[in-house]
Amino acid sequence: MKIGVVGCAGRMGQMLVREIAATAGCTLAGGTERVGGPALGKDLGLLAGIEALGVTAIDDPAELFALSDAVIDFTSPDSTVRHAALAAQSETVLVVGTTGLNPSQQAAIEAAATHTPVIQSPNMSLGVNLLLALVEQVARTLGDDYDIDILEMHHNKKVDAPSGTALGLGRAAAAGRGVALEDVWQKVRDGHTGARPRGEIGFATLRGGDVVGDHVVMFAGDGERIELTHKASGRQIYAKGAVRAALWARDKTPGLYSMKDVLGM
């Protein structure tokens, strides 16, 4: 399977290049970078710190989609929307790890999925997707007798908050309770907030250093507290999951899929 990478010179892009090169059953179709970027024309293997692969960085996403069976996208919401349109036109599998999409941007992803398989997840790791399932189960079992707060920490260069994974965990908790997250979330607490409303799902965000990603879901009741935790020590887990998703989608019909589908959960 020929897999392309958009944003191939970034930290995640380089990790994806290394993972594709090391994975049986796939080959690197190419990679894109921004117009005028210093990586253009350079070998993607050398950019990623491995042997030369004979494929160089280009600045035309349309060309990349034409060359690829699947494209992996961990870029920005605006860029992902443009890539989704190209995926739909070329009927190329699209794997989306981009977070921070607004409702109209998400609608564009869903529209593309009517023409081609799209795998979208706020987090591609096996551990986080198991955590999502556990959070939903615990929330369903405990009900709103327990307060739920989600604490996340990432590196100081992350641009969206709360993280897409934290919001995904919130949605899992809300699903367990049979409510919409947007109806019960509290993203910021500041000043004289008063007593906590029953059923609220709260978020706390930390940014600093080079933290890859820590997430804790706390269920606090009278006399006890349950904490479910996932800590990522490297980005390779996301790259492995994304490549696995691309390979899984090869023969799938158009539709919007998640890592739950990929993992058979």
Q: How much of the chain, in percent, has pLDDT values that exceed 90?
A: 90
Kindly give the residue spans of alpha helices, DSSP state H, lying in the chain.
11-22, 44-47, 61-67, 77-90, 103-112, 126-142, 164-177, 181-184, 236-248, 259-262
> How many residues appear in the chain?
265
Q: Given a cut of 90, is residue 176 above it in pLDDT?
A: yes
Q: Which of 2, 42, 115, 158 is catalytic?
A: 158
Q: Is 158 an active-site residue? A: yes
Q: Given a cut of 90, is residue 263 above it in pLDDT?
A: no
Q: Is 2 an active-site residue? A: no
What is d(CA 48, CA 9) in angstroms, rounded to the nearest whole number?
Answer: 7
Q: Which of 154, 215, 230, 240 is catalytic?
A: 154
What is this structure's pTM?
A: 0.80
Closest to 72 in 3D by CA, of 13, 26, 151, 27: 13
Q: Given a cut of 90, is residue 264 above it in pLDDT?
A: no
For 42, residues 6+ apart whose C-beta sits below 8 A from its C-beta are 9, 56, 57
Q: What is the pLDDT of residue 181?
A: 97
Q: Given a cut of 90, is residue 234 above it in pLDDT?
A: no
Q: What is the pLDDT of residues 71-103, one digit of tens each?
A: 999 999 999 999 999 999 999 999 999 988 999
Q: What is the pLDDT of residue 213?
A: 92
